[in-house]
Amino acid sequence: MNLDELKDKIGIGEDKVYAVMGAFTAPEDLVEGGRKIREMGYTKLDAMTPFPVHGIDEAIGVPPSKLGWLVVWFSALGCATAITLIWYVGAIDYRLVIGGKPYFDFSYTIPIAFELTVLFSAFASFYGLWVFNGLPRLYHPTFNYSQAHRASDDLFLLVIEANDPKFDAETTAEHLRSVGAGDVEVVEG
Amino acid sequence: MSAVLQDPQLMEVNPPLVRSEDYHDLTEQISGIVEGDVIKTPTKYWITLAVTASITGLLGAMLAYLLSTGIGVWGNNRPIGWAWDITNFVFWIGIGHAGTLISAILFLFRQKWRTSINRSAEAMTLFAVMCAGIFPLFHTGRPWRAYWLFPIPNTDLNLWQNFRSPLIWDVFAVSTYFTVSLLFWFTGLVPDLATLRDRTTNKVKQVIFGLLSLGWRGSARHWSHYEKAYLILAAISTPLVLSVHSIVSFDFATSVIPGWHTTIFPPYFVAGAIFSGFACVMTLLLIARWTLNLQNLITMKHLENMNKIILVTGSIVGYSYACEFFIAWYSGDIYERFTFLNRAFGPYWWAAWSMYSCNVFIPQLYWFKRMRTNLWVMFAISITTNIGMWFERFVIIATSLTRDFLPTSWGYFHPTWVDMCTFLGTIGLFLTLFLVFARFLPMIAISEVKGVLAVQKHQFSDEEVMAK
Amino acid sequence: MSLISIQTPNVTGKKYWRSLNQLANTTEFREWVHHEFPANATEMLDGNSRRTVLKLMAASFGLAGLAACSRPVEHIFPNSAGTEADNYLPGEPFHYATVMSIAGHVTGLLVETHDGRPTKIEGNPDHPHSLGAATAIQQAIVLGMYDPDRSSKVLQGGRESTWPALESAVQKLALGDGAGLRFLSGFVSSPTLDSLRAGVLKKFPKAKWVEYEALARDNELAGANMAFGQPLYAHPKWDKAKVIVALDHDFLNLDAPTPFFTLAFSKRRRVGSDEDLDKMNRLYAVESQFSLTGANADHRLRLKGSEVRQFAIDLAAALGAMPGLNVVNNGGSADKRARFLAALAKDLKAAGPEALVVAGPRQPASVQALAALINEKLGSECVTYTKPVIDKSSSGVAALKALAGEMSAGQVSTLVMLGGNPVYSAPADLQFAVALSKVATSIHLGAEDDETAAAATWHIPEAHVLESWGDEASSEGMAAIQQPMIEPMYGGKTAAEIVSWVTTGKFTKSHDIVKNYWLPQFAASKEQGDKEQIWRKALHDGVVAASKTVEPIKVTVDAKKLASALAAEPQVAAAGIEVGFYPSSSAWDGRYANNGWLQEAPDPISKLVWGNAAMISPKMARDHKLTDGDVVSLTRGNFKMEATVMIQPGHSDDAVSIALGFGRQRCGRVGKGVGSNANLIRTTDGFYFAPGFTLAATGKREDLATTQERGTGDNQEGRPLAREGSVEEYKKNAKFVEEMAEVPEVHSIYSEFVYDKGNQWGMAIDLTSCTGCNACVVACAAENNMPVVGKDQVMRGREMHWIRMDRYYSGDENDPEVIEQPIPCMQCENAPCENVCPVQATSHSPEGLNDMAYNRCVGTRYCANNCPFKVRHFNFLNFHKHEPEIVGLVYNPDVSVRMRGVMEKCTYCVQRIEETKIKAKQDGRREIRDGEIKTACQQTCPAEAIVFGNINDPNSRVSKLKKQERNYAMLAELGIKPRTTYLAKLRNPNPELTA
């Protein structure tokens, strides 16, 4: 893959429009605005907020996270790993009589099985989080938005991406203003 | 102390998370501590740091001496194979429990007030577990072989671990606990790191925070996954906290030694851990609140709530003590009976009674609101509680060993100066880490507080969104 | 010890030794030796310098290796078949028979050597006084042989000199008829030396030879003299006796440095069948200090040493043994005494021929005579008398006093001291050092550069028992040849060599002297072969079949003469505090003070290590407001000493007992200054006990190191641990033992592991026959390479003995009973220690052993915590770190030396088990014969109290013992299934006294 293709793929490139962005000062305004924009038929929407704004997902149509399932599988894997390890060590690989106890018994696998279950789930949710979010990714076109640095402070940004079929820089910017967003800009990748 | 501290009434008028405060001011206040010019940091901070750092150096020296000479430099002997080493281990692990507990359980119960303390509580957990980890590692006769405790394929003897041993369970429990706490803590930190990244103008800091925040940009999708992940971590941390100290208590409960061999230990240890953990958080918060002027974030209501928890857990611990004596008497087992009489009236009566007083009697003061809301009282009690809990571990571990089955093998434990300096050293390490954290990372979860603030600002809920 | 390790990189085997030999001759090595062990090296045991302990272990062997390889040039003959030359296999141990004598108590030994270095001492089964058993002291002398503090140089006036210099000096002596020539030796029990003595006294008619032992049997002979008009040895037949009365006679421990008495006594302390119960003997002890004999006695009466005489008189009177004597009843406080006396007299009468009264070596002639009288009147068949095979006319304190007198008067020009350390051990009032300074030429042959060596004009290093050719004859004349295992490491000489040298003027090697003495006495015969063969057999067996043993003679006591003698005997006023002088169970009279194994072997009763103490009764402690560790001064006239107080339950009131052999000032770094020197207040008029002392607290305090917590931990806290009962009880209800503890039915949630195949090792320890001597403790230390940890570490509770002797008091503190219980590993089938080890360093073998893999141990100490018996020992420090490689010389090559930070424990001597299994395999056998494997503790036990074997074989001795109703497992209620079980102690009290 050459550089241009790569840039295309992640939407970077001179004179390449990435999105139209606008800012709200209150979360509920963002939700409101987002909902309206969506009603206009936009589908490729995103928001950037300093804290999780309740209702925004439904408003701009962000699908619920699937992270849960990943964790379920990994927890099962963790539990299995523990029991297999203890069984293999005790009953197969190195059979030693310890205090007259059997080579393998479920009773003494419980604590470690539990711990590994937890450990694996934790890894799943932690790494899952970043993988699902496509992070770490140190650069993102939205950072070119003049107010981007305030998205982690006190501004609530709405993003309408350029790959939206209904996207057209001017009209989209208009729409965005019409729902009450300020500082509307066309952001280039 | 500052005038604010001395005037509780002034605190009373501060409702939690005052409305007057806006998102930006919040960011300013919290990030301010981190962003403030290093030169401008109050000298009292640097002095404190210098002291704690040198104490940490002492720890290093002690461990080096131990490594070069052997466990003999401690007071451990036969029959007292475990003394201050494991006492300190359990003590620190116990303290490490409140952090995750506050973050996780209170989060699950939607206790909004947790947001003011959870970050520092989690940090405290990590540092406490680090201190705890030192002891099981260095209390072994041959620490350079300590890696044999982990199920890593080792070619040395091609032997495996004994999974029947509670000590191995410990290894898994503690290392899992540390890992999960770390992930939990870091996950919560990322959005705030992004905030710092976006605010700083210093190139170096931009790079550092940029890398640490992994390119977080607060996208709705991020938040969606983030909240799920955070919820799950909280959900699994809660049973984890309970399991860790239960497993630590198995070290003793599964043995045959009278005073150790007790089924009541798991709940008893967990209650004790929460008890000491909250006390330790209390100590640190009061200091932070004073030195960093966080009166409006860490309010009297928060403190009072914590005091209530201390009262409850303290009483549970007291109940456990009573239970032990009852069972010892009821069992009719001569060894059991002797052990508990010996505990209270034997050569270690002083340890036992300091434990009863600090853990059971003194916290009863919290039945009175005036006590619960007096900063001096709560500071004092937070200290005595941790002294008491240290004694609890010492009493259980050491004094049970001094006099077990065969009177001919009875002994007495005399700590050496190395014992003392090593313990002191870990306190130094703990404080050093905490001071560094308090200065260079946001002590309070900015994004979370903002979330709470938003909810309070405009009574604004999912239902309303649907309605519109 | 750096130099050693530098000079000897990991080279092993013979080459290694050779390089050391070369090394030994280099000057820098000599310098290093001086630098490394300065004569005034600080005593290694002061609390805050534990590192010196390591130095000690290093030092104890520093010079050992230098000569260790050089075998004696003469032919020595292993006890195992054939000569070493014939079937020498590297790594295969050889056992040599030899013999040693402590103050005339002769015991045959069997010495295990590995590639020419002695490593372990056992008793010689062929020797009648050993039968395979050996005492703690006898086993420990092997460490003494490697002691680098032993004298290694000829000294003149304390400065290094040479043998030629000494030779020329001696040639210059004008001995003439020997008017000014005197010999001072210890107790002579060597026929060869005796003949040499005759020779030298013949050559120098006016010369005199004096024998002196600080702890001697002279009173025994004097007593016979008083009773029968001639000096005789009494030979108690302990195994014949039904009722035994020990008058201040600790024949089970201190007063018998030989396993022989215990062997015989315990024969009637074993219970297999009911007739054994009826045959069981009954022991009455009358004594001042609480001795092991008192602990094993069925009845004990505490009297001051000086009161024993009156008791003996009363006993004789009560038995009507002496006309014109009636019982003097002191009445009142002596009430217990009266009851005791009456019951005893009755019991003795009943026993008749099976009665035996013995008087201890501390008791004066009169008491010995009275004992003889009583035995005679009772018609006892349990004692015989023999004439000494070796003349004892000039032996004892009186003889020494006379000699000292001559010396002070300047009548002695030349004094030859053959062994011993009179300057230290002579009674204080003789002022021997001063007297010695008046002697122009004094030659001291000694093992150590000690107090006497410094005071004498000449000092000659003495060869160690294991280095010397010699012979010893028991008091009834049973002789044995002493053969060396290695050449004298420091060019030591033997007494025989010196005497023959002084006589003939030319030096003859002891081998030739001894052989030339014996060969003419052998009668060649067809079955025995020529004299050379008989000689070889003697070496091989460890006993001289041809030795002329003396027959018991029939003698009768002249009661009238005895009565007048009694009346004539001077009596000292019994005012003030009485001090009694006792042998030390570790240092004996001081000659073993520099032996780490012995210093660390706890006293059987007080459990004191690394020192002695002024033993007093609890009442006396209260009267004088003293507690353990208070330093007091004991004064009588000009004689004064300071000692540390230790409260001894059962001790007689207003009396102090103190062990000799401590407080050595010029001694190796182990024994130097350990304890306090009781010789300072020991005088000729109060040689064994003296009244009239004043005791004063000095306000100083001194830590006493004991292996059991004082005060608490002395009794069983009502726990059924060491179980005991009376014969009566046992007859009524044999189940009483197991009824002492309720063992609940334990239902495991697991299917338990079954041990039903092959050998299943187990052990049974009979508390009835066990006397509590420390033989097993030292045997274990020697067999299993136990490090010496030193006083400081013992005080911290870090001693390493794998088998320990637990001691419990019961009853009244003034007259307690004592039970001793040896505690090895119980080898639990459900071992709590195994469950908790995180790294599987300890697990169970298919043969039921609780194995310990040292190199896997990470040292969490969890196993030790979880051991209910606390038999696991942790290497808190590296006790071997500073040892040069040659430390291996005394170590058992079959047992690994443990490093710092690992746990160690009793293994049932697994190395012996495996060795035997291999042998069995070589013989094409599958099964091991019962008794073929003996653990070290079992092998040396004089009471045969420890039995080890296969519990899977119903006919093995151990299985049979375990079937007995007396058998119980300690703490069985924990469900741990111990493999080591105990047979409860049965006492045989007199119903009249128990009522």
pLDDT digits (tens, 9 = 90+) for A44-56: 888 888 888 888 8
Whether C183 has a pLDDT exceeding 90, the answer reads yes
Mean pLDDT of C97-107: 91
Number of CB pairs, chain A paired with chain B, less than 8 A apart: 209
Shortest Cα distance from B441 to chain A (angstroms)? 16
3-state SS, one letter per residue, for C676-718: CCHHHHCECCECCEEEEEEEEEEEEECCCEECCCCCCCCCCCC
Task: Give the side-chain half-sphere CA count within 13 A for B443.
Answer: 29
Q: Would you give the DSSP letter of residue B80? A: -
Q: Which residue has the tokens 């439904």?
A: A58
Q: Does residue B5 fall inside a structural domain?
A: no
The model's confidence at residue C992, banded by pLDDT at 50, 70 and 90, is confident
Nearest to B162 by CA among A104, C674, A41: A104
Mean model confidence pLDDT for chain B: 83
Q: Does C864 touch chain B (CB under 8 A)?
A: yes
The pLDDT value recorded for residue C11 is 31
Q: Which residues contact C956 (CB under 8 A, 6 or more apart)?
A: C930, C949, C950
Yes or no: say if C783 and C895 are a contact pair by the CB < 8 Å rule.
yes
Least Cα separation, residue B136 to chain C (angstroms): 8
Q: Compute the 3-state secondary structure of chain C and give helix, strand, coil in percent, each to the nearest 5.
A: 35, 20, 45
What would the pLDDT profile of A114-173 be if each residue is shown by its tens digit? 999 999 999 999 999 888 888 888 777 777 777 777 777 777 888 888 787 877 777 888
- Give the largest CA-CA distance in chain B: 81
What band does B468 get if pLDDT is binned at 50, 70 and 90? very low
Chain B residue numbers with beta carbons less than 8 Å from the beta carbon of C869 are 405-406, 409
pLDDT of residue B154: 63
Domains of chain A: 3-64+152-188 (3.30.70), 67-132 (no CATH)
Ranges A58-72, C59-73, C605-619, most confident: C605-619
Q: How far is A107 from chain C (nearest CA, A)?
A: 9
Q: What is the mean pLDDT of residues C648-659?
A: 92
* Pairwise CB contact (< 8 Å): B210 & A129: no
Cα distances from C459 to residues C88, C594, C614, in angstroms, run 38, 19, 34
Q: Which chain C residues are closer than 8 Å to A98 by Cβ?
A: 834-835, 837, 840, 843-844
Which residue is closest to A115 within chain B, CA to CA? B173
Per-residue model confidence (pLDDT) at position C888? 67
Q: In chain B, whose CA is at the least distance from the CA of C719? A: B334
Against chain B, the chains showing at least 3 CB pairs within 8 Å are A, C
Q: In this predicted structure, what is the pLDDT of residue C22?
A: 37
Cβ density class B4-15: b for 16+ within 10 Å, e for less? ebeeeeebeeee
pLDDT value at position C883?
59
Q: Judge whether B7 lies within some domain.
A: no
Confidence of residue A185 (pLDDT cuts 50, 70, 90): confident
Predicted confidence at residue B357, as pLDDT, reads 93
Question: What is the bridge-based pairing of β-strands C105-114 and C705-706?
Answer: unpaired
- CB-nearest to A151 from B217, B224, B247 is B217
**pLDDT at position B354 over 50:** yes
Rounded to 5°, the CA angle C905-C784-C756 comes to 55
Distance CA C879, CA C900 (A): 7
Q: According to the model, what pLDDT value does residue A68 have?
A: 86
Q: Is the pLDDT of residue B141 over 70?
A: yes
Residue B197 maps to a domain: yes
Instruction: Tell me whether residue B203 is in a domain.
Output: yes
With an 8 Å Cβ cutoff, are C830 and A102 in contact?
no
- Alpha-carbon distance of C985 to C713, in angstroms, equals 20
Cis amide bond preceding C832, omega within 30 = no
Residue B334: closest C-alpha in chain C: C719
Task: Identify the band that residue B170 occupies on the pLDDT scale cut at 50, 70 and 90.
Answer: very high
The band of B437, judged by pLDDT with boundaries at 50, 70 and 90, is confident
β pairing state of C282-287 and C705-706: unpaired
- Is any Cβ of chain A less than 8 angstroms from the Cβ of C438? no
For residue B395, name the pLDDT band (cuts at 50, 70, 90).
Answer: very high
C238 close to C261: Cβ distance less than 8 angstroms: yes
To the nearest whole Å, the CA of A105 is away from the closest chain C CA by: 8
Q: What is the pLDDT of residue B417?
A: 93
Between C37 and C776, whose confidence is greater? C776
pLDDT at C678 over 90: yes
User: Taking CB atoms and an 8 Å limit, are A100 and C829 in contact across chains?
Assistant: yes
Report the range of poorest mean pLDDT among B206-210, C151-155, C783-787: B206-210
Q: Is residue C386 over pLDDT 80?
A: yes
Query: In which residue are the tokens 């200091």 written?
Result: B287
| Confidence grade of residue C39 (pLDDT, cut at 50, 70, 90) | very low
- Three-state secondary-structure class, residue C527: coil
Instruction: Please name the residues in contact with B47: beta carbons below 8 A apart, sequence gap of 6 or more.
Output: none
Reported as a pLDDT band with limits 50, 70 and 90, residue C423 is very high
pLDDT at C52 over 50: no
Strand partners, B111: none
Total of domains in chain B: 1
What tokens were used for C724? Answer: 């005991």
CA distance A143 to chain B (A): 8
Whole-number pLDDT of residue B38: 63
The whole domain housing B273 covers 16-467
Which residues, 6 or more positions from C683, have their beta carbon under 8 angstroms from its beta carbon? Answer: C427, C428, C429, C636, C639, C690
Nearest residue on chain A to B26, alpha-carbon basis: A153
pLDDT at res. B3:
33
Return d(Cα C177, Cα A12) in angstroms, integer.
125
pLDDT digits (tens, 9 = 90+) for C54-77: 444 444 444 443 433 455 656 666
Is pLDDT at C9 greater than 60 in this prediction?
no
Q: What whole-number distance in Å separates Cα of residue B417 and Cα of residue C471? A: 56
Identify all chain B residues contacting A153, using CB atoms and an 8 Å cutoff.
23-24, 27, 195, 198-199
B160:A89 CB<8 A: yes
Q: A141 or C193, which is more confident?
A: C193
In chain A, pLDDT over 90 holds for what percent of residues?
A: 19
Residue of C754, C839, C844 to mutate when probing chain A, most A C-beta within 10 A: C844
Q: Which two tokens stand for residue B403?
A: 């006099």
For residue C407, name the pLDDT band (cuts at 50, 70, 90): very high
Residue C919 and residue C875 in contact, taking contact as beta carbons nearer than 8 Å: no
Q: Is the pLDDT of residue C18 over 50?
A: no
Q: What is the 3-state secondary structure (H, E, C) of B270-320?
A: HHHHHHHHHHHHHHHHHHHHHHCCCCCCCCHHHHHHHHHHHHHHHHHHHHH
pLDDT class of C50 with cuts at 50, 70, 90? very low
Residue B6, domain member (yes or no): no
Say if the Cβ atoms of C874 and B81 lie within 8 Å: yes
- Is residue C535 within 8 Å of residue C518, measured between CB atoms? yes
Q: Identify from B333, B396, B406, B414 which residue to disrupt to test chain C contact, counting C C-beta atoms within 10 A and taking the largest count.
A: B406
Give the mean pLDDT of C958-968. Answer: 92
Span of B417-421, C405-409, C457-461, C990-994 with lowest mean pLDDT: C990-994
Which chains have 3 or more CB–CB distances shorter than 8 Å to chain C? Answer: A, B
Name the residue among C421, C385, C376, C369 with its Cα closest to residue C400. Answer: C421
**pLDDT of amino acid C56:** 46
Assess whether pLDDT exceeds 80 at residue B465. Answer: no
Contact flag A89-B220 (C-beta cutoff 8 Å): no
By the CB < 8 Å criterion, does C847 face chain A? Answer: no
Q: Is residue B23 part of a domain?
A: yes
Which residues in chain B are closer than 8 Å to C877, comparing Cβ atoms?
69-72
Report angle CA C944, C948, C950 to the nearest 5 degrees: 145
pLDDT grade, residue A11 (50/70/90)?
A: low
Which among B162, B257, B406 has the least Cβ separation from residue C838? B162
Q: What is the distance in angstroms between the Cα of B162 and the nearest Cα belonging to chain C?
A: 5
Assess if residue B11 is contained within a domain: no
- B232 to chain A: nearest residue by CA? A125
Contacts of A121 in chain B (CB under 8 A): 232, 236
Task: Indicate which of C757, C826, C835 best probes the interface with A, i.e. most A CBs within 10 Å of its own CB.
Answer: C835
Q: What is the mean pLDDT of residues C116-141?
A: 90
This prediction has a pTM of 0.87
Instruction: List pLDDT tens digits, range B296-352.
Output: 777 888 888 889 989 999 999 999 999 999 999 998 888 999 999 999 998 899 999
The residues with which C121 forms a beta bridge, in sequence order, are: C111
Residue of B nearest to C834 (CA): B165
Report the CATH number that the domain containing residue B87 is assigned in CATH. 1.20.1630.10
Q: Count CB atoms within 10 A of the CB of residue B166.
A: 23
Q: How confident is the model at residue B5 (pLDDT cuts 50, 70, 90)?
A: very low
Q: How confident is the model at residue C7 (pLDDT cuts 50, 70, 90)?
A: very low
CB B278 within 8 A of CB B127: no
Mean pLDDT of chain C: 85
Q: Is the pLDDT of residue B53 over 60?
A: yes
| Residues of chain B found within 8 Å of residue C836, distances taken between Cβ atoms | 165-167, 254-255
Q: Is residue B10 part of a domain?
A: no
Q: Tell me the average pLDDT across C860-873.
A: 94
CA distances to A37, B196, C209, C438 from C433, in Å: 118, 90, 19, 9
Distance from CA of A55 to the nearest CA of C (A): 52
Sorting pLDDT into bands at 50, 70 and 90, what band is B294? confident
Chains contacting A (3 or more CB pairs within 8 Å):
B, C
What backbone phi and psi angles, to 5 degrees, belong to A113? -55, -45
Q: Is the pLDDT of residue C608 over 70?
A: yes
Mutate which: B180, B222, B233, B460, vs A, most A CBs within 10 A: B222
Q: How many CB atoms lie within 10 A of CB C747?
A: 7
Nearest to B142 among C797, C808, C858 (CB): C858
**C848 has a pLDDT exceeding 50:** yes
CB atoms within 10 A of CB B414: 13
Cβ separation of A51 and B447 shorter than 8 Å?
A: yes
Which residue of B146, B161, B255 is in closest CB contact with C832? B255
Q: What is the pLDDT of residues B17-33, one digit of tens each?
A: 333 347 777 777 777 77
- Which residues in chain A touch residue C843, judged by CB atoms under 8 angstroms apart? 96-98
Residues of A within 8 A of C845 (CB-CB) are 97
pLDDT of residue C176: 81
pLDDT for C490: 82
